Structure 1
Amino acid sequence: MNTEHGILFSDAYQKSLKEQFYHADEDPEHGARLFFENSGGSLRLKKAVEVKCAVEQFPDCPERVRGRGLELQSYVKNGTKEILEVVFGAKSGALLTELSASQAMYQAVGAVMENVKWGTNAVTSSLEHPSAHDAVEYYCNKTGREFRVVPANKTTGGIDPDEVMKYVDKDTCLLSIMAASNISGNIMDIKEITRRAREINPDIYVVSDAVQHAPHAVIDVEDWGVDIANFAPYKFFGIRGCGYAYVSDRVAVMPHHKLIHKEADVWSLGTPTPANFAAMMAVIDYVCSIGSHFCDAADRRALYVEGMNRIHLQERALLYRMLEGTKEVPGLRHIKNVEVYVDMEDLTYKDLIIAMGIRGIEYSECVQKYLEHGVTVFERLRSSMYSKRIVEALGIEGAIRVSPLHCNSADDIDRFLKITAKIAESVS
């Protein structure tokens, strides 16, 4: 599945997938548009929104053992199992649920940092989302540990395993490295980073923020060997208002916020929200349906993995087209005045996210020009608390982040490139 330039879905199949999302080609109030800002919140799968609405209609308590309550309870029970086993690829461990993936990250990191009594430092990277970076820094300050930050590779836009090992030692209690960058799109080698970190310290706890990576490729906590990973449904074709994290067996039983008389590995606090689990199961069903289009596996995890691999191949093909273009439409690498930041030839290490700029046009102004041409993208600036540390780590002033989705077509990419060329031509 490591095809260098990806594999596009057939036109008919791509169209059938796009039809399963709300407002994929137009906003009902603002008109036709290309929505290339999925990294800030993806297009919404219709079935996820619809089942959320349907389940929310019932007032019954999902902790009752009869009638409608029992049915609602099944969404929580089955959803928990599917998120752990199918999405995270976990064979054990527990599921942590919160209102957001950021809250889930803080809870999990806090449990480790406050309960582990050994270790004098914790390590993260300069590319982390603030929720991961700041969680480690916060608990280092709270527990009196040294806070260490691994610098980015300014050429690739990633975090190199060799560089990480310069910061990890036998006294490192926790290491947190994101699965993929939310600005450069670079995919980190979490498995190799974890393996080498455990050669230095077999007891180290490893965390990976997978929020950005989850909509693009497979998460496999068993293969990666991590103790904590999280994702956000609203960036993964689903809904806002919930975040999920996997915690390994050894983290699951650590003291944490829970009702005293519940089992040691229970991380839910209060009455659960069945509709959120139902919506996430609709997303899982969608990915599995893509898997079943290409293989006849019976196992849900196998179908899901096939589906995500096919999504990744489709997105790699779209990424290659966006960068290189065609004979008729030049790609970003070939349009005068356009800069592609932290670009690299090997796209097998990239998710479908591009950081770019147009010389002579300030980033916010450029995003507005795109909007006037019916394209939604987003600027990442040093003036933003979410972006300052990351763009500085990459050695750039800022960037326009362009993030299409697997259901976009080659024609969508060509349209974006034509608009980009038109905007770039306006530079004097």
Structure 2
Amino acid sequence: MLEDIPGLMEAIRARFAHVDSCPFTGPRVFFENAGGALTLNSVVETSARLAAIPDNQGRANGASEALVAMIAQGRADMRVFFNAAEGEVIVGESGTELLFRLIRAACLGTGTGVVLGSTLEHPASRSAAAHWAEMAGMDHVLIPHDPDTGRIEARAYGEAVTATTRVATVVHTSPVSGIGMDLPGIAAAIREVAPDCLIIVDGIQHAAHGGVDVAAARVDGYVVSAYKMFARHGYGVAWLSDRLATLPHEHLRGAPGAPWEMGTRDTAAYATFSDVVAYLDWLGAQVSAETARRARISAAAEAIRSHEAALCKAMLQGVDGLRGVAEMPGITVVGGEANAHREGLVTFAQAGRDNAEIVAALNAAGIRTHLRKADHYSGTVLDPLGITTSVRVSLCHYNTHAEVAQFLSALGACI
């Protein structure tokens, strides 16, 4: 656990902006990371520095050459992060926009057949698949998830896939429950029946909490949102396999290489992603003896997973003599109280109560959480459990057991 290494947690927290205090409301514990993680100080500095540069890319001057070099480095760092020796990495407006673009190309480029998804997915992928399946004359089939575990097992995909399945969408981790999926297992189950199926993954919730390895997963598209993994708003990043990248898509006629990116991109998007990768590289060096960059990033992901698992356990079972969430009266924990696949997030509801009251009380006590309602974002997960409102408490590796104790103390006072 990160807190067991002397001085490491202090060094980690020192690298993030506003780690324990909001610039508008003062001291607070930040447990709203699923809504957007804290930002690295290096990302803030890079964004400000590049915002002041007037030069454009592709010009015959030193400033432009420097910008082009930053973009090239950003792409290389994205490849290391995704563990992608092949394929293409692109930057877009947001994770949602990139999911729509990848799913659109996959549906329109494969003709008739089935687009396979699940009831667990975020509307970003579910809506894109529904829309573009209809536009392409394809059937959109949704696999029901297990409401008790908040999960879809690989066998469920294996049972639903057919030889006519052309596109499959998978959410790596649910942003409602925090429960992660067996992505390599799901991909393998799909490919056993439909080897040419294009598999597109929503990794937006997963990226900050576990390793990303598209080579091991054997998928065709993987999308992340920068602001949920220590960078900033304004861009998302996607990896596309060669099969997906070469499908017909919008681009400027005559542009070399049929590029996916359109218009002049923000150099800081690439450079700040480099900042994120550099941070993970640094963290991996603190928790392992690895020397290769990708190996250090993998070590960082494992350390993050282990630390956050310990925080979730403390939150659910209690710490420092305080009752855990699972021990409090009338509480239902989405995904179950003892779910080994939980990734840095606990969502719960108290029966017979508008849980917005709990979110408000925690906020007044300096604990930032979020209300999840049975709406178009979360209804498919909450409705089967009979939950209309819930409290989402989302952690990251820079959070501490002391902050969990502060949360439990405040929660105990309002339950």
TM-score bucket (shorter structure): over 0.9
Q: Does 1:379 align with 2:367?
A: no
Q: Deviations over 1:273-323 (max 9, x none)?
A: 111111111111111111011223332211111111111111111111111
SS in 2 for 1:356: strand
2:130 maps to what in 1?
137
Of residues 163, 167, 182 in structure 1, which corresponds to 2:175? Answer: 182
Q: Is the 8 A contact 2:316 2:325 kept in 1?
A: yes
Per the alignment, do residues 361 and 19 of structure 1 end up closer, same or farther by CA in structure 2, a change over 3 Å counting? farther
Aligned residues: 415
Shift of 1:395: 5.0
Matches of 1:396 and 1:339 in 2, distance apart? 9
Q: Trace 1:271-420 onto structure 2 (pairs within 5 A).
A: 271-326=264-319, 328-347=321-340, 349-382=341-374, 384-393=375-384, 396-420=387-411
Matches of 2:69 and 2:363 in 1, distance apart? 43
Q: Does 1:102 align with 2:96?
A: yes
Name the Cα RMSD after superposition. Answer: 1.6
Matches of 1:261 and 1:351 in 2, distance apart? 45
SS in 1 for 2:15: coil
Per the alignment, do residues 410 and 327 of structure 1 end up closer, same or farther by CA in structure 2, a change over 3 Å counting? closer
- Greater CA drift, 244-253 or 336-345: 336-345
- Opposite residue 350 of structure 2, the aligned amino acid is I
Q: Does 1:112 align with 2:106?
A: yes
Q: Does 1:209 align with 2:163?
A: no
Of residues 37, 61, 77 in structure 1, which corresponds to 2:32? Answer: 37
Q: Does 1:160 align with 2:158?
A: no
- Greater CA drift, 166-175 or 323-332: 323-332
Q: Is the 8 A contact 2:161 2:193 kept in 1?
A: yes
Shift of 1:74: 1.0
Matches of 2:15 and 2:167 in 1, distance apart? 41
1:93 maps to what in 2?
87
Of residues 78, 81, 95 in structure 1, which corresponds to 2:76? Answer: 81
- Opposite residue 48 of structure 1, the aligned amino acid is V
1:251 maps to what in 2?
244
Q: Is the 8 A contact 1:94 1:265 kept in 2?
A: no
- Percent identical among aligned pairs is 27
- Opposite residue 318 of structure 1, the aligned amino acid is L
Q: Is the 8 A contact 1:18 1:24 kept in 2?
A: yes
Q: Is the 8 A contact 1:62 1:70 kept in 2?
A: yes
Q: Deviations over 1:98-145 (max 9, x none)?
A: 11011111111111111112x421111111111100110001110111
Gaps of 5+ in 1: 1-5
- Greater CA drift, 390-399 or 292-301: 390-399
Of residues 116, 126, 133 in structure 1, which corresponds to 2:119? Answer: 126
Matches of 1:16 and 1:239 in 2, distance apart? 21
Q: Deviations over 1:344-386 (max 9, x none)?
A: 4242x1100111123343122221111111111111112x332
Matches of 2:196 and 2:258 in 1, distance apart? 20
Matches of 1:13 and 1:96 in 2, distance apart? 33
2:43 maps to what in 1?
48
Shift of 1:327: 5.4
- Opposite residue 241 of structure 1, the aligned amino acid is G
SS in 1 for 2:107: helix
Gaps of 5+ in 2: none
1:62 maps to what in 2?
57
Matches of 1:357 and 1:151 in 2, distance apart? 22
Matches of 1:190 and 1:66 in 2, distance apart? 45
Matches of 2:131 and 2:381 in 1, distance apart? 18
Q: Is the 8 A contact 2:203 2:224 kept in 1?
A: yes
Matches of 2:177 and 2:7 in 1, distance apart? 31
Matches of 2:315 and 2:337 in 1, distance apart? 13
1:3 maps to what in 2?
none
Matches of 1:66 and 1:306 in 2, distance apart? 40
Shift of 1:261: 2.3
